[in-house]
Amino acid sequence: MSTKPRPAPVGSFLGALLSALLAAMFLTAPPASAAALTEVTNFGTNPSNLQMYLYVPDSVTAHPPVLVAAHYCGGTGPVFYSGTEFASLADRYGFIVVYPSVTRSSKCWDVSSPQALRRDGGSDPVGIRSMVDWVTRTYGADPGRVFVTGASSGAMMTNVLLGDYPDVFAAGAAFMGVPFGCFATTDGSEWNSACANGTVTHTPQEWGDLVRAAYPGYTGARPRMQLWHGTEDDILRYPNFGEEIKQWTNVHGLTQTPALTDSPQTAWTRTRYGSTGDQAPVEAISVQGVGHALPSGGMAARAITFFGLDGGATTPAPGTTCRVAVTTNAWNTGLTASLTITNTGTTPVNGWALRFDLAPGQTITSGWNATYSPPTGTVTATNAPYNATIAPGAAASIGYQATHTGNSAAPTAFSLNAAACTS
């Protein structure tokens, strides 16, 4: 490491980052609703002069969850709002999104200074925590359901926030980041070439100790972590993915052996540690053949599932049970599926989300009577405004068209508002 700041690597980082990210980020439009992104000032202690932008959907759940969404290096809160799916997912599920924004010239988060790497030490993490506290006070948000996600520099900040404030954040989703402490410098530089190039390695215990040192004496529960990385990332290279897995499994007292390995979508390899369910302590998704350009389609929704926020807009009825009947019609590389959802319980279902698994190689291209997301893997079909209520003994009919690569099997593993259905 040089003993002076190195502006050239930061510049090359920004150039490569923006060329890789901007095209991917702007594929999504801002959500179509009356709600709008607004700037909040005077939100509390803010040692590094961050800006706070807030998205509150037209309809939020009681005591809504809060998601902090941190932009990439060179970006801003408004750009990350416009270019990702988190606001549209907030519309669907009723949570609030905070988009913090860096004002220093690099537009990179401070994930390297000693101040940033300890609880209440100063710099960006303190300002972000102030934003969370402001939202909790102002909107009566649930302090037990605060989450953070980010891309690139924002993914690094996700790692840092989970280390500094394990009592504030319940979980994080880091898209193409590096472990907590990996980018640490002592010379004031924002850039750590050794870490970016994937040459900083530690044992799981050493990585875990860096996290624990951020908040000495803390003995409470640790946030769950979801990690994403493309195998062809040439900005924050792929070995950082494995180092992150080592770190967060150690923080949770887990071994390096996955409890589950699967491929929920083409080119994705997912490993879960500590349990096999959607909210495992650590979940890691490797994306084959992809560079520094995450999140892309369907990934934000998968993060929301990991956080447990994708049922927030539904009202499960106690004791509700369900049955799903499926018919499919397949041809060469396509198929249609018709699903009938019957409420076999004794109370109405008011608002519903049906989850099911598509066969490998299938991709939904269109649908009717529900909204489908993501188009592959584990899909959630959310009610339309006109069929949100299913009375006892009544049914709702939905369907979709999909492509397939040879496996035209019917969907499986149905659950309605998190309750398993027979089929």
Q: d(Cα 267, Cα 329) in Å, to the nearest integer?
A: 26
Task: Answer yes or no: 152 catalytic.
Answer: yes
Spatial distance between the Cα atoms of 177 and 150, rounded to a whole number of angstroms: 8
Q: Which of 48, 113, 123, 152 is catalytic?
A: 152
DSSP bridge partners of 224: 171
Give the per-residue SS3 of the chain: CCCCCCHHHHHHHHHHHHHHHHHHHCCCCCCCCCCCEEEECCCCCCCCCCEEEEECCCCCCCCCCEEEEECCCCCCHHHHHHHCCHHHHHHHHCCEEEEEECCCCCCCCCCCCCCCCCCCCCCHHHHHHHHHHHHHHHHCCCCCCEEEEEECHHHHHHHHHHHHCCCCCCEEEEECCCCCCCCCCCCCCCCCHHHHCCCCCCCHHHHHHHHHHCCCCCCCCCCEEEEEEECCCCCCCCHHHHHHHHHHHHHCCCCCCCCEEECCCCCEEEEEECCCCCCCCEEEEEECCCCCCCCCCCHHHHHHHHHCCCCCCCECCCCCCEEEEEEEEEECCEEEEEEEEEECCCCCEECCEEEEECCCCCEEEEEECEEEECCCCEEEEEECHHHCEECCCCEEEEEEEEECCCCCCCCEEEEECCEECEC
Token output for 337 = 């599926």
Q: List residues with catalytic annotation.
A: 152
